[in-house]
Structure 1
């Protein structure tokens, strides 16, 4: 439908969705700045082990690689959910969101297990500046993924109850931006934290 043929109400709704999309882009840019600062802090704190364990002593590349695979595949499954929104296939959207949720939950489980294992070895965030920076950076990402999982549950319920209305589709679009952003942030963590930490 062209803008000229829209009713006043439809024009207002379209404008509202566009404003929310812009607002969400601004939020993501702010989040990117936060992650950039956390990456910079981590890079500065790498030598600050205070005689404690280093990344080489603690990091498990297999675990980090599995986390990476889970998150990258979840980004793909979310892409399939987005394609299903365009075709109006409600059951496919719910199915792909469920798969995305399971992959994301697997990622969070592995991260929590890693943190618990490190703390059990006496390598918690209070052990050194290096570990404090590591837990803050990786933990902040993990909290973001957890919030994304909660958002997936809420939007799945909205798709079931309301269908693929324009407002629901708009929210799914913003969730997609958020989820793919988390993927990009994790690739940075894997490349800057885990790989160099094990070399």
Structure 2
């Protein structure tokens, strides 16, 4: 009888958090395949990859890295505040601030893509670095990886914005547990960029 009572009193398993971890594991495998393709290309055409990397806009990439790191800090503080009713509005503001930093990242990325278009760095006819073996593959991987990252980032912005609105209104679904799950997704997006940044912007400049 006491065992049955103890089981009834035990908190239910956090299925939302478990589901997010499983989802992130599948996403890690997906991006891992792209990282493996990059490593293969870098091994076979190191000179072309290095030349192509030096044509990326490292200042914009660095600014975007700072934006994402700052947004992750805001999300971490929001998750810490989410469990207290008196800090509900602060949680909403922090999540909204992180979402705005994500939108700023997207705006800068759009500027960067526009520059690369005008410089002839999109793979295909008229590619500016066609004489360098491997350079076109580098930019193909660059646009695929950063484009997929941008898509995940937009989903994260929508997620943070939704929870910011819910926290501001005091909705029961915007509780600490769900804010933490949303934070896990956002930190994953941040970590992916932290890997992409040195691979795409810095590796070629170190040679």
When normalised by structure 2's length, the TM-score is 0.80
**Alignment correspondent of 1:99:** 97
CA distance in 1, matches of 2:95, 2:62: 23
- Following superposition, the deviation at residue 170 of structure 1 comes to 2.6
SS at match of 1:124: coil
Alignment of 1:161-176 (within 5 A): 161-163=169-171, 165=172, 168-176=175-183
Question: 1:111-132 deviations in whole A, cap 9, x for unaligned?
Answer: 1211121012211143422211
Paired residue secondary structure (2:186): helix
The residue number in structure 2 matching 1:21 is: 17
Which residue matches 1:117?
115
Q: Is the 8 Å Cα contact of residues 75 and 180 (structure 1) preserved in structure 2?
A: yes
Distance in 1 (CA, whole Å) between partners of 2:84 and 2:116 is: 46
- Structure 2 counterpart of 1:30, from 18, 23, 26: 26
Distance in 2, Cα, partners of 1:112 & 1:4: 57
Q: Indicate yes or no: 2:130 matched with 1:133.
A: no
Determine if contact 2:93/2:164 at 8 Å carries over to the other structure: no
- The structure having more radius of gyration, on CA atoms, is 2
CA offsets, 1:126-178, max 9 Å, x none? 34222111101111111111110011122222223343x36633321111001
For 2:83 and 2:201, locate their aligned partners in 1 and report how far apart those are by CA, in whole Å. Answer: 37
Are positions 1:80 and 2:77 aligned together? yes
SS of the aligned residue for 2:65 comes to helix
**2:18 is equivalent to residue 41 of structure 1:** no
Aligned counterparts of 1:80 and 1:43: Cα–Cα separation in 2: 35
SS in 2 for 1:122: coil
User: Could you say which residue in structure 2 is the equivalent of 1:190?
Assistant: 197
Contact 2:163 2:174 (C-alpha < 8 Å) held by counterparts: no
Question: What is the TM-score when the length of structure 1 is the normalising length?
Answer: 0.83
8 Å Cα contact 2:61-2:197 kept in structure 1: yes
Tell me what 2:130 maps to. none
- Give the C-alpha shift of residue 39 in structure 1: 1.3
Cα displacement (A) at 1:86: 2.1
RMSD: 2.7
Q: Secondary structure at the residue paired with 2:82?
A: helix
Is the Cα contact below 8 Å between 1:42 and 1:134 reproduced in 2? no
Q: What displacement does 1:28 show? A: 0.4
Task: Report the Cα distance in structure 2 between the residues aligned to 1:49 and 1:114, rounded to whole angstroms.
Answer: 23
The answer to whether 1:69 aligns with 2:66 is yes
